Amino acid sequence: MNGMSDLTRLSGAPALNTRPSREKKKKVLIVDDEYLIRYSLQKLIDGEGYTAFTAESGLEALRLFEELKPEIVILDIHLPDSNGLILLKTIKEISPSVTVIMATGCPDIQSSVEAMKMGALDYLEKPVDFEKLAAILKSVEEQARPQEKPVSPQDSFVFGSDAMKEVCRITERLANKADVTVLVLGESGTGKSFLCKTVHELSTRKGKPFVEIGCSNIPEHLIESELFGYEKGAFTDAKATKKGLIEMAQGGTVFFDEIGDMPYPMQSKILSLIEERKFRRIGGLQQINSDVRIVAATNRSLHDLVQEGKFRLDLYYRLNVVTIEMPPLRSRIGDIPLLIDFYLKFYTAKYGCKTNSITQTAMEILNGYSWPGNVRELKNLMEKLVIMSKCEKIGADELPSCFTSKKASSPAVAPNPPKDAVSPAEHPSAHTSVKLNQDSLSLRMLEEKSIRAALKEARGNQRQAAKLLDITRDTLRYRMKKLGIDATHFLLLFCLVNYFHASSGFGLV
């Protein structure tokens, strides 16, 4: 197994031990206008061995920052007296070395990229995931220590197979070639996104923005404005000039995930960006120079898409400068025990479970499985097993039925499926028992319905409602405020119903 500590750092996963040395007592300034958030974060951070201070406004934050000189600042982007991005810029001008972590209840791509460009280390969504914050604080500690050796791609993956050694060899040769376009091919779950981030981390562009653009996630009518931005007045709703993601990534890397899904009309503009290193905002006349590296990934055959007339041949040639193919897990079965061992130890430490090994029978079953979801599927399975297992050793009887069925017992080295094929877990017919209508697809609506149902069941009692939802009371109150839900409505309703039944002589059931 190679370089577990560096794998954890580069992958963004929380380290195995998130408690920093108590001797250092670094100072952390928490800036937020909500008391409950300040109190919760201060309690957590003090418990992690730091000295935490709080401020509820931008003015108070600047006063404390200059007085205390903290090494870390956790900064809310929306403050009553100032804009968090402006405050971030001011703090960085005073002390360029300070670590700033942004927090917001209303995240958006533009603000997060802008914050990272201005020097923020990370961007957290409220309510803050304490475990993730602890991992970020730990990573700050680790990065402050001197590196014993240069970072290598072999420190980023767990493997022993020749196929992965070849991947790392090619990646290593790209380290000093920060302008070369890279195309990563492979099935879903093989680690394409992680490899692209590693290419960025190994280059001289490290420390600059790494902007990921999901080509299948942005609506076709919005993709050009998201990528290139627009000038004020370019169209009806363009009330101010907006920078695009390409412009925000200046000096860094732009990663086009699932480039094969990019709309055909947009492909010519990406080709022009790669060839000319320039672009124009929508409605703009001025050409803007672009200093970005382009990396792209896809699980589809671009050659086949070209033949079908769905992908430009000239763009395919421009992307296909250096191609790296991530092997499916079934073709590197020797790595399966290594990955199982790594994720077993990782999640055992993360969740504080007693599970520390796996039986030989269970290992043989997993080693013979075809893994259609590749490393992502293995990682998710190990997390589930560690959480659910009641024994120190995970046995074969604890594996899901799909692993012990006859279909799952086929040899691991199977013919490669077509690159356009959808894995069983992703196929629409795999979930025919679940029927969704259009209205039920709104996450906000589902969340609001769940909270209202819990409050109704708990007769307006927020503590009981939080228990029903399996969340903390602070989280419930935060979500209610965000969704505009008033608990007094449910309490009043309960009182009226109680009064009605009492008046009728029936009493409340």
Q: Which residue has the higher pLDDT, 417 or 481?
A: 481
Residue 34 pLDDT greater than 80, yes or no: yes
Q: Which two tokens stand for residue 3?
A: 């370089």
* pLDDT reported for residue 379: 92
Residue 394 pLDDT greater than 80, yes or no: yes
Residue 162 pLDDT greater than 60, yes or no: yes
Q: Which two tokens stand for residue 398?
A: 């604890």
* pLDDT reported for residue 505: 52
Residue 500 pLDDT greater than 90, yes or no: no
Listed in order, the ranges of the chain carrying CATH 3.40.50.300 are 153-325
Q: How does DSSP assign 288-309, residue by residue? A: EE---EEEEEESS-HHHHHHTT
Report d(CA 47, CA 63) in Å as an integer: 25
Quick one: fold of 331-395?
Helicase, Ruva Protein; domain 3 (1.10.8)
Residue 12: closest CA among 194, 233, 141, 182 = 194
Q: Which two tokens stand for residue 273?
A: 């960006």
What is the share, in percent, of the chain residues with pLDDT greater than 90? 40
Question: What is the maximum alpha-carbon separation in the chain?
Answer: 84
Listed in order, the ranges of the chain carrying CATH 3.40.50.2300 are 8-144
Compute the residue count for the chain: 509
**Residue 121's pLDDT band (cuts 50, 70, 90):** confident
Q: Which two tokens stand for residue 473?
A: 């009371």
E strand or H helix at 199, and its extent? helix 192-202
pLDDT, tens digit (0-9, with 9 covering 90-100), for 215-256:
988 888 889 999 999 999 998 888 899 999 999 999 999 999
CATH superfamily placement of domain 8-144: Response regulator (3.40.50.2300)
> What CATH number does domain 443-504 carry, 2.30.29, 1.10.10, 1.10.3470, 1.20.120?
1.10.10
Residue 19 pLDDT greater than 70, yes or no: no
* Distance (Å) of CA 268 to CA 21, 117, 312, 338: 53, 27, 8, 43
Report d(CA 107, CA 112) in Å as an integer: 7
Listed in order, the ranges of the chain carrying CATH 1.10.10 are 443-504
Least confident of 133-147, 167-181, 428-442: 428-442
Residue 270 pLDDT greater than 60, yes or no: yes
**Residue 261's pLDDT band (cuts 50, 70, 90):** very high
* pLDDT reported for residue 373: 93
pLDDT, tens digit (0-9, with 9 covering 90-100), for 171-186:
988 888 889 999 999 9
pLDDT, tens digit (0-9, with 9 covering 90-100), for 443-466:
677 778 888 888 888 877 888 888
Quick one: fold of 153-325?
Rossmann fold (3.40.50)
pTM of the model: 0.54
Q: Are strands 99-104 and 122-125 parallel, antiparallel or unpaired?
A: parallel
pLDDT, tens digit (0-9, with 9 covering 90-100), for 58-89:
889 999 998 888 999 999 888 888 888 888 88
For residue 154, how far is the Cα from the chain centroid?
A: 23
* Distance (Å) of CA 305 to CA 261, 299, 310, 313, 336: 10, 12, 5, 9, 32
Q: Are strands 72-76 and 99-104 parallel, antiparallel or unpaired?
A: parallel
CB of 98 closer than 8 Å to CB of 69? no
* Distance (Å) of CA 308 to CA 187, 304, 312: 20, 6, 10
φ and ψ of 114, to 5 deg: -60, -40
Tell me which long-range contacts 398-407 makes (C-beta under 8 A, separation of at least 24). Answer: 398/362, 399/362, 399/365, 399/366, 403/365, 403/366, 403/369, 404/365
Residue 7 pLDDT greater than 60, yes or no: no
pLDDT, tens digit (0-9, with 9 covering 90-100), for 399-428:
998 887 655 544 444 444 444 444 444 443
Listed in order, the ranges of the chain carrying CATH 1.10.8.60 are 331-395
Helices (H), 236-334: 245-248, 264-276, 302-307, 313-319
Q: Which residue has the higher pLDDT, 225 or 136?
A: 225
Report d(CA 214, CA 217) in Å as an integer: 5
Mention every residue, 6+ apart, whose C-beta is less than 8 A from residue 4.
158, 342
